[in-house]
Amino acid sequence: MEKKGELRPELAALIPIAKGIASTIGKNCEVVIHNLETPESSVSFIAGNVTSRSLGAPATNLVLETLRSTGDASEDLICYKTVAKDGLTLKSSTMFIRDSYGKIIGCLCINIDLTEFIFCQKILGRFTGTPGDPPGSVKDEHFAQDVVEVIESLIQHVIDHSKVPVTLMHKED
């Protein structure tokens, strides 16, 4: 979606990039180009649909607060978590676009809906977890093919847990 004739060249040049990002990531991604010369109606291009915004929507509170507090010195906001008004969990990034004088004129925002990924993560966590073990605990188990491997494994275990380096070990060690 695009407003014809309202984008500065610096922002219009981002349209193919926005389309490419949204297409590459897929249906869970939205890329928005904001023209911050008119923050009250800054949304000038949208590829994808995650936040249900439309052209002419205002800049977000986060963008406005960032600009208010640090102005043209604002740094990009990369990979932050947000929750959309409909409850979707999003991973977002906001990159500020500057003119040749360093003045912020717009931003490119990427919003990825993580809802399905979080669901999959929970399912995988239940499948890969082992009940009764604290998170992060792993049992040291070796699956040997013969007795020699068992002995080598025991020797290696002693070496790994010894306070004496192998080069300084004596027969007793």
Q: pTM for the complete prediction? A: 0.71
Dump the DSSP string for 18-42: HHHHHHHH-TTEEEEEEETTSGGG-
Distance CA 150, CA 160 (A): 15
Q: Which SS3 state, helix, strand or coil, does residue 44 take? A: strand
Calpha distance 72→69 (Å, rounded): 10
Domain boundaries, the chain: 1-162
Contact 44, 127 (CB under 8 A): no
Task: Give the CATH class of 1-162.
Answer: alpha beta
Q: What is the pLDDT along the chain (173 residues), one digit of tens a residue?
A: 444 446 899 999 999 999 999 999 999 999 999 999 999 999 999 999 999 999 999 999 999 999 999 999 999 999 999 988 888 899 999 999 999 999 999 999 999 999 999 899 889 988 887 776 666 565 566 666 777 877 887 787 777 777 777 777 777 77
